[in-house]
């Protein structure tokens, strides 16, 4: 689905990458729900099947990922980047994700932050996606010539944990307070039954969203971190700041 001058960015697909089957739901599921409920298609690319997890088999976690994506109204595919806990930056892997970007043709991409102090797969995937988004633009790359080039509008990083949030970069907060959005997000997180056996991940993420909401006068909010400066067409698009002056 390629955006055209007569097709607004809001109608272009949202592409989200996750290192493991639950990352997108826990890290930015509320953002996905808000977008799909507003009519934007969303597509997930999960880059492992949770093979190294303490809880849950790859078969179980694959099924949970499909259920979680369905709860958010998103389609899903899996891409092999070497297996859970074995992610490494390699050009061939960036090219693999660049090919997906050219096929899906999103305006916005979501990926885990490249912050180091978190699960290493998250940080590595953030770097691979950042490079893939750039490689998708270049017309002379032999391995990608089967599909036309594509330039995205913005790469936004999400944090699966507080430790993954960049400390020196102000976030962009997305309001996920609406009841249908919060309900879909909660259902998507609850789909990952295997992962809540040892820790209350659903309650943790909702608590994070509550705290972030309080920071900007909302009930629930999820922080995203732009890879590059945001560009707005006019001041009218700047709704408000988190601080109430």
Element (H, E) at 82: none
- Give the mean pLDDT of 180-192: 97
Whether pLDDT at 1 is above 60: no
Q: Which of 5-9, 78-82, 176-180 has the lowest mean pLDDT?
A: 5-9
CATH of domain 10-228: 3.40.50.10320
Token duo for residue 165: 């949030």
**pLDDT of res. 245:** 66
Contact assessment for residue 242 and residue 218, using Cβ atoms and an 8 Å cutoff: no
Q: DSSP assignment, residue 172?
A: E
Instruction: Tell me which residue has tokens 């998507």.
Output: 188
**pLDDT of res. 41:** 97
**pLDDT of res. 4:** 40
Q: Can you give the pTM of this predicted structure?
A: 0.93
Whether pLDDT at 10 is above 80: no
pLDDT tens profile 102-140: 999 999 999 999 999 999 999 999 999 999 999 999 999
- Give the mean pLDDT of 182-193: 97
**Comparison of pLDDT for 12 and 61, the residue scoring more:** 61
| Domain ranges for the chain | 10-228
Instruction: Tell me which residue has tokens 């102000």.
Output: 170
- Give the mean pLDDT of 97-103: 98
**pLDDT of res. 12:** 87
């Amino acid at each position: 689905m390629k955006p055209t001058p007569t097709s607004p960015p809001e109608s272009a697909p949202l592409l989200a990458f996750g290192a493991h089957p639950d990352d997108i739901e826990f890290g930015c599921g509320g953002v996905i729900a808000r977008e799909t409920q507003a009519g934007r298609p969303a597509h997930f690319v999960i880059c492992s099947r949770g093979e190294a997890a303490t809880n849950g088999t790859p078969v179980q976690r694959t099924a949970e990922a499909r259920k979680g994506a369905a709860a958010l109204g998103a389609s899903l595919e899996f891409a092999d980047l070497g297996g859970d806990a074995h992610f490494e930056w390699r050009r061939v892997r960036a090219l693999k994700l660049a090919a997906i970007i050219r096929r899906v043709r999103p305006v916005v991409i979501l990926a885990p932050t490249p912050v180091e102090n978190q699960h290493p797969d998250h940080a590595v995937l953030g770097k691979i996606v950042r490079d893939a988004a750039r490689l998708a633009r270049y017309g002379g790359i032999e391995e990608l010539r089967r599909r036309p080039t594509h330039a995205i509008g913005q790469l936004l990083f999400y944090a699966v944990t507080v430790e993954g949030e960049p400390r020196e970069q102000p976030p962009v907060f997305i309001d996920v307070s609406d009841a249908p959005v919060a309900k879909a997000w909660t259902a998507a997180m609850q789909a990952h039954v295997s992962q809540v056996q040892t820790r209350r991940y659903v309650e943790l993420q909702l608590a994070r969203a509550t705290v972030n909401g309080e920071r900007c006068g909302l009930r629930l909010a999820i922080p995203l971190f732009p890879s590059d400066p945001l560009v707005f067409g006019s001041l009218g698009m700047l709704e408000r700041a988190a601080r109430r002056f």
